[in-house]
Structure 1
Amino acid sequence: MAGENVVRLRLRPPAHAPSERAVGWWRVQLALLTAVPVAVLVLLGVFIAPARTWLLLTAAAVAVLGLACTAFLPRWWFGVHRWEVTDDAVYVRTGYFLREWRIAPMSRIQTVDTVRGPLEQAFRLATVTVTTASAKGALRIEGLDHELAAELAERLTVLTRATPGDAT
């Protein structure tokens, strides 16, 4: 395309990790996701005598698996999740078994949202969601310090406003 200024973006490891506090946030999420089914199974085991053994054994198995996940997965996730914002694009790398690296050029960004759920607020964290004109969906940068997330959202707003294009 003659006369167009084409920006070439290359897939590379993004430079920044989530906040260290994200490890605790992920642990609490996993603990809660484990506690709910274990509590239901135990209650059912208490009240349904014919199935008590199987329900309590299942509750024990779910508890052991959940506690193992709670102990090990958050640290692994911290080692995998990366993000970076440059003047040209937002880079995000996620995934545990299947790694996903995504780049959103500034000209494709439509909205930037910052979300802080109750647990995130307790850990002073936030999630920045970058919505693009892509069928793949939004890019999510999770586990950011809440002040950094606010600064990042402001920076992205300034960068996208200054970037030519219509985000489609």
Structure 2
Amino acid sequence: MSAPATVTMADPLWRPSPRARQLWAINAALLWLPVFALQAVGAFVGSWWPTWAQISVAAATAVLALLHVTVVPFWRYRVHRWEISDTAVYTRTGWFTQERRIAPISRVQTVDTERGPIDRMLGLATVTVTTASSAGAVKITALDQDTADRTVAQLTEIAGTNVGDAT
């Protein structure tokens, strides 16, 4: 009996827009704003904390926020990939925990485009491919608006020609 064939899966080919790094940096900075606001309120109201403790906590928070805002977007950009073939949608996402998803075209139910306020400001969009899967939708994030529009059109055309069970 022969050994089973080893199949290696290639990484998806395409990266998100280079402006994805700005999007992720802005989103990270917005996450840290309430933390800094609470620390500022605590500094003025919470006189029971010694000044050295307040400064230490503020400095540690600033270092963590700076790392999150500067390092994570570049790391995510190196990891995030996507690709569409005639048979499937492939994505690789994450920064700390990385996830690879493959959604067969035959299982595609809907294809949507989403643009939040920061996405619009940067000319970006997210394409969401909803499938008949308990794992949830596949998202291709931070695409240029034109790329997102072409991707939706391509997926719609491929899914329309593919007779599948999308249930």
Alpha-carbon offset, residue 132 of structure 1? 0.8
Match of 1:148 in 2: 147
Residue deviations 1:49-81, cap 9 Å, x none?
Answer: 113644553233222101111111111110000
Match of 1:43 in 2: 41
Aligned amino acid, residue 159 of structure 1: I
CA distance, structure 2, for counterparts of residue 154 and residue 10 of structure 1: 29
Moved more, 44-53 or 80-89: 44-53
Report the count of equivalent residues: 160
Match of 1:67 in 2: 66
* Residue 30, structure 1, aligned to residue 28, structure 2: yes
Match of 1:87 in 2: 86
Q: Secondary structure at the match of 1:50?
A: coil
Matches within 5 A, 1:51-130: 51=49, 53=51, 54-130=53-129
Q: Secondary structure at the match of 2:48?
A: helix
Conserved 8 A contact 2:72-2:95: no
Alpha-carbon offset, residue 12 of structure 1? 2.0
Moved more, 30-39 or 95-104: 95-104
Aligned amino acid, residue 75 of structure 1: F
CA distance, structure 2, for counterparts of residue 45 and residue 20 of structure 1: 38
Conserved 8 A contact 2:111-2:129: yes
Alpha-carbon offset, residue 15 of structure 1? 0.4
Match of 1:159 in 2: 158
TM-score by length of 1: 0.88
Conserved 8 A contact 1:93-1:102: yes
CA distance, structure 1, for counterparts of residue 127 and residue 111 of structure 2: 7
CA distance, structure 2, for counterparts of residue 40 and residue 113 of structure 1: 37
Aligned amino acid, residue 150 of structure 2: E
Aligned amino acid, residue 95 of structure 2: Y
TM-score by length of 2: 0.89
Alpha-carbon offset, residue 126 of structure 1? 0.5
